[in-house]
């Protein structure tokens, strides 16, 4: 496996700083496989990350990389893509980064439909800063800021992205690493704002506090709770306690970069 991933890794930066059993490496491997599968030129790939444990991935990947500020990865990515539309731009964010601090940027980026590949590492908590509740912490789960259990409902990332206008939305888990690669690769092919949420385990800040066992137990939880959309269609109902994985939404809508280019061409011809 390492041989397959090696050409895309900054080996001089390893070993990584993630905790033993953290799911971030599995998600990162899925991203590499997707880029490889899509046949992208390594020099034309840009990885933009925000702040958080998962954001460290940009430092371990051998592409053009930018480790930016908390909640603002999408703004940097938007500027890069508008300035250099031929580049394939990937935006790596945690759940707090994408949906709390960067929540406003997220909905507006989705609305604009710029051709970006967004991957949200959803570990359901703020891991790096010690386990504060994020907008993805499930109700009743414990966090340092919710020691008796979270009282608020989390977002449903898929519904939020769809509602805000994202034209490709998928969900996977760290356990389903091959499916993660497949969905991200489909998102790369899609012309528009593509979001893949990956539910991943944080054994240290979330798992331990919530009695989820060791990292293997948390992967088993992901395997058992995930329901593939194709299976769900045959069942006709979504059984209680399950969440859907798969490509959950896709639509064609004019992409912002193309709209800007055609408006510019009309303007240059004097045809407004």
Which residues sit at the interface with ligand SF4, rule CB under 6 A?
18-19, 22, 24, 53, 123, 127-128, 202-205
Minimum CB distance to ligand SF4, residue 80 (Å) = 26
Nearer to ligand SF4, 23 or 246 (CB): 23
* CB of 38 closer than 8 Å to CB of 62: no
- The residue whose Cβ lies closest to Mg ion is 94
C-alpha 185: how far from chain center: 13
* 3-class secondary structure, 256: helix
Nearer to ligand SF4, 101 or 188 (CB): 101
Minimum CB distance to ligand SF4, residue 142 (Å) = 15
Which two structure tokens, joined as six digits, stand for 75?
A: 């703004």
Minimum CB distance to ligand SF4, residue 128 (Å) = 6
The contact set with Mg ion (CB under 5 A) reads 94-96, 123
- Which among Mg ion, ligand SF4, none contacts residue 203 (Cβ within 5 to 8 A by kind)? ligand SF4
- Which among ligand SF4, Mg ion, none contacts residue 18 (Cβ within 5 to 8 A by kind)? ligand SF4
Nearer to ligand SF4, 117 or 123 (CB): 123
Minimum CB distance to ligand SF4, residue 92 (Å) = 13
- Which among Mg ion, ligand SF4, none contacts residue 95 (Cβ within 5 to 8 A by kind)? Mg ion
Nearer to ligand SF4, 34 or 128 (CB): 128
Nearer to ligand SF4, 13 or 189 (CB): 13
* CB of 89 closer than 8 Å to CB of 77: yes
- Which among Mg ion, ligand SF4, none contacts residue 98 (Cβ within 5 to 8 A by kind)? none
- Which among ligand SF4, Mg ion, none contacts residue 97 (Cβ within 5 to 8 A by kind)? none
How wide is the angle at C-alpha 8 spanned by C-alphas 5 and 10, nearest 5°?
Answer: 110
Minimum CB distance to ligand SF4, residue 252 (Å) = 35
Q: Which residues of 24-40 are buried (b: 16+ CB within 10 A; e: fewer)?
A: bbbbbbbbbbbbbebeb
Minimum CB distance to Mg ion, residue 24 (Å) = 10
Nearer to Mg ion, 27 or 188 (CB): 27
CA–CA gap between residue 151 and residue 140 (Å, rounded): 6
CA–CA gap between residue 56 and residue 50 (Å, rounded): 9
HEC readout, 177-221: HHHHHHHHHHHHHCCCCEEEEEECCCHHHHHCCCCCCCHHHHHHH
């Amino acid at each position: 496996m390492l041989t397959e991933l090696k050409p895309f890794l900054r080996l001089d930066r390893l070993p990584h700083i993630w905790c033993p059993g953290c799911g971030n490496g599995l998600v990162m491997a899925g991203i590499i496989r997707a880029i490889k599968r899509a046949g992208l030129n390594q020099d034309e790939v840009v990885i933009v990350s925000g702040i958080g444990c998962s954001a460290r991935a940009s430092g371990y990947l051998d592409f053009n990389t930018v480790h930016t500020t908390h909640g603002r990865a999408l703004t940097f990515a938007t500027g890069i893509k508008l300035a250099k539309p031929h580049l394939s731009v990937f935006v790596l964010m945690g759940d707090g980064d994408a949906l709390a601090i960067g929540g406003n940027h997220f909905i507006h980026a989705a609305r604009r439909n710029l051709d970006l590949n967004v991957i949200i590492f959803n570990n359901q908590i703020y891991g790096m800063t010690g386990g504060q509740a994020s907008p993805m912490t499930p109700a009743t789960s414990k966090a340092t800021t919710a020691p008796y259990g979270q009282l608020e409902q989390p977002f449903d990332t898929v519904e939020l992205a769809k509602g805000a206008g994202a034209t490709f939305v998928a969900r996977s888990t760290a356990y389903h690493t091959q499916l993660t690669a497949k969905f991200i690769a489909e998102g790369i092919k899609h012309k528009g704002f593509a979001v893949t949420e990956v539910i991943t385990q944080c054994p240290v800040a979330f798992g331990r506090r919530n009695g989820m066992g060791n990292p293997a137990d948390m992967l088993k939880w992901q395997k058992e709770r995930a329901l593939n959309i194709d299976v769900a269609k045959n069942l006709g109902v979504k059984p209680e306690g399950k969440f859907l994985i798969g490509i959950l939404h896709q639509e064609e809508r004019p992409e912002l970069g193309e709209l800007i280019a055609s408006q510019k061409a009309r303007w240059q011809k004097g045809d407004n």
